[in-house]
């Protein structure tokens, strides 16, 4: 048929697809690729969570349709978590809803609250669903540059000032994927004041609430008095308990936003498989020492990787949180841009990373490195990267291609 689908036309080319295709081709040739690309936890969930899933799945009644807003016990478990972790009291009936992961929750909320032509404020660089969830829903995105060298509030003021019509919502993501930036409670206090002043909703993605290092737990925006008047927060069990494939998260906060999400979800899905929801209760209500074990695993990987890359000649800031390092392109490679650098690193060092351009134009001088390989594999990658940096520093892509053709002959 001759026509294209409107929403599909609005989506940009998937930048990561080029690197993913190269990875697949290399593996089909039998090459060993050390993959720091996708933030996909490589360890299983704690045993007691799996046991509860298996136990519940044996009950025939649990295989019926579930409930889209989440079973009552799971909503209560989330409110208990907020009280325990943040000292915030949440109404399990009107201020929280279970989602199929934080990503799906945000995308569903975008469908619920977006009027075609709305201008939504989103950080750049950012996890792709933050802007594209709203683009799919018919909005226009106004990017707010973020990162270690950016003045976020100055950029935000400028974005709001130049938005016509005024933006109804702003997406926040701290600890940040991909930049690993963290903020304190004073930042959220300022954000809540700003949102009230500008009549904005704040949509906060707190998926990495429990993956932090150096003893400094990230705060919740809902700790700010009055935040629930303007904010909803998305959390997830994916990283906290190594449950990414289970698709289990929450939206918590503003009653109006939670009600809108509840209504649209009732049309879109029946909720997660009931045994998964029961097992999620076991995760939140059960022993929490497993979280420190998972956190410790990423901390060790972070330290090995950052120290090793520094020794190899690539200075990468040590992340305070998340399972990612946001690495400036090494000296002698900045001229390539993140996509060409990532392709070259994969081709010559058998190491895969995510090009920063895939998270937005302001990420093009960085790559994201996920802490998903064990320490032995990380050390192997560091050795490969050290040789790569020595061999290809300051080379032009054309020179590299000429050298490849000469080798082939």
Yes or no: say if 201 and 230 are a contact pair by the CB < 8 Å rule. Answer: yes
**pLDDT given for residue 402 in this prediction:** 57
The CA distance from 334 to 367, in Å, is: 11
Do strands 34-35 and 231-236 pair parallel, antiparallel, or not at all (unpaired)? Answer: unpaired
Residue 128, Cβ density class (10 Å: 0-12 exposed, 13-18 middle, ≥19 buried): buried
Question: What DSSP string runs through 62-83?
Answer: GGS---TT--HHHHHHHHHHHH
> Quick check: do 6-44+290-408 and 47-285 share a fold?
no
The CA distance from 265 to 268, in Å, is: 5
C-alpha gyration radius of the chain: 22
In order along its 409 residues, the chain shows pLDDT tens digits of 566 788 888 777 777 788 888 888 888 898 888 999 888 888 899 999 999 999 999 999 999 999 999 999 999 999 999 999 999 999 999 999 999 988 899 999 999 999 988 999 999 999 988 999 999 999 999 999 998 788 999 999 999 998 888 999 999 999 999 999 999 999 999 999 999 999 999 999 999 999 999 888 999 999 999 999 999 999 999 999 999 999 999 999 999 999 999 999 999 998 999 999 999 999 999 999 999 999 999 999 999 999 999 999 999 999 999 999 999 999 989 999 999 999 999 999 999 999 999 999 999 999 999 999 999 999 999 999 999 998 877 676 656 655 555 555 5
Cis status of the peptide bond prior to 165, with omega within 30 of 0: yes
**pLDDT given for residue 398 in this prediction:** 58
CATH 3.90.1150.10 fits 6-44+290-408, yes or no: yes
* Domain range summary for the chain, segments of one domain joined by +: 6-44+290-408, 47-285
**pLDDT given for residue 401 in this prediction:** 58
**pLDDT given for residue 400 in this prediction:** 62
* CATH code assigned to 47-285: 3.40.640.10
CB within 8 A of 318, min separation 6: which ones?
302, 303, 306, 325
Do strands 324-328 and 366-370 pair parallel, antiparallel, or not at all (unpaired)? Answer: antiparallel
DSSP state for residue 31 in the 8-state scheme: -
Cis status of the peptide bond prior to 125, with omega within 30 of 0: yes
Yes or no: say if 324 and 370 are a contact pair by the CB < 8 Å rule. Answer: yes
In which element (H, E) is residue 12 found?
Answer: none
Torsion 338-342-345-348 (CA) sign: negative
The CA distance from 337 to 329, in Å, is: 8
Question: What DSSP string runs through 105-116?
Answer: HHHHHHHHHPPT
HSE, CB side, 13 Å, CA atoms: give it for residue 55.
11
Widest distance between CA atoms in the chain: 70
Q: How many residues does the chain have?
A: 409
What is the per-residue burial (b if ≥16 Cβ within 10 Å, else e) of 255-294? eebbebbbebbeeeeebbbbbbbbbbbbbbebebebbeeb
**pLDDT given for residue 380 in this prediction:** 96
User: What is the three-class DSSP state of 4?
Assistant: coil
The CA distance from 251 to 95, in Å, is: 8
**pLDDT given for residue 399 in this prediction:** 62
The two tokens of residue 42 are 């490589």
Residue 52, Cβ density class (10 Å: 0-12 exposed, 13-18 middle, ≥19 buried): buried
- Extract the runs of DSSP E, i.e. beta strands, from 168-323: 169-173, 201-205, 231-236, 249-253
């Amino acid at each position: 048929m001759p026509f294209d689908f409107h929403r599909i036309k609005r989506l940009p080319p998937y930048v990561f697809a080029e690197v993913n295709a190269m990875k697949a081709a290399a593996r089909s040739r039998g090459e060993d690729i050390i993959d720091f690309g996708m933030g996909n936890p490589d360890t299983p969930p704690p045993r007691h969570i799996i046991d509860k899933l298996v136990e519940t799945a044996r009950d025939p009644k649990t295989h019926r349709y579930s409930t889209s807003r989440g079973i009552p016990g799971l909503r209560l478990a989330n409110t208990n978590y907020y009280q325990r972790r943040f000292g915030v009291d949440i109404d399990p009936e009107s201020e929280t809803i279970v989602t199929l992961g934080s990503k799906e929750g945000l995308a569903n909320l975008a469908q619920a609250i977006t009027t075609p032509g709305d201008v939504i404020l989103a950080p750049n660089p950012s996890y792709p669903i933050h802007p594209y969830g709203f683009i799919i829903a018919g909005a226009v995105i106004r990017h707010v540059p973020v990162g270690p060298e950016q003045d976020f509030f100055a950029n935000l003021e400028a974005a709001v000032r130049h938005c016509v019509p005024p933006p109804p919502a702003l997406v926040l993501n701290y600890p940040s994927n991909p930049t690993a930036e963290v903020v304190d409670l004073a930042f959220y206090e300022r954000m809540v004041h700003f949102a009230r002043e500008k009549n904005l909703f704040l949509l906060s993605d707190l998926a990495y609430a429990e993956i932090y290092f150096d003893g400094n737990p990230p705060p919740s925006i809902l700790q700010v008095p009055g935040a629930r008047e303007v904010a909803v927060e998305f959390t997830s069990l994916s990283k906290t308990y190594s449950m990414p494939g289970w698709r289990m998260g929450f939206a918590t906060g503003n009653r109006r936003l939670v009600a809108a999400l509840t209504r649209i979800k009732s049309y879109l899905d029946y909720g997660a498989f009931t045994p998964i929801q029961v097992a999620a209760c076991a995760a939140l209500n059960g022993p929490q020492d497993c979280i420190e074990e998972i956190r410790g695993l990423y901390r060790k990987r972070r330290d090995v990787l950052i120290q090793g890359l520094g020794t190899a000649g690539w200075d990468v800031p040590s992340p305070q949180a998340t399972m990612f390092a946001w690495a400036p392109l090494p000296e002698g490679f900045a001229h390539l841009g993140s996509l060409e650098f990532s392709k070259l690193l994969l081709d010559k060092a058998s190491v895969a990373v995510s090009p920063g351009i895939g998270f937005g134009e302001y990420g093009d001088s960085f790559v994201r490195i996920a802490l998903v390989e064990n320490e032995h594999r990380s050390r192997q990658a560091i050795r490969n990267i050290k040789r790569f940096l020595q061999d290809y520093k300051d080379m032009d892509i054309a020179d590299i291609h000429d050298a490849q053709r000469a080798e082939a002959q």
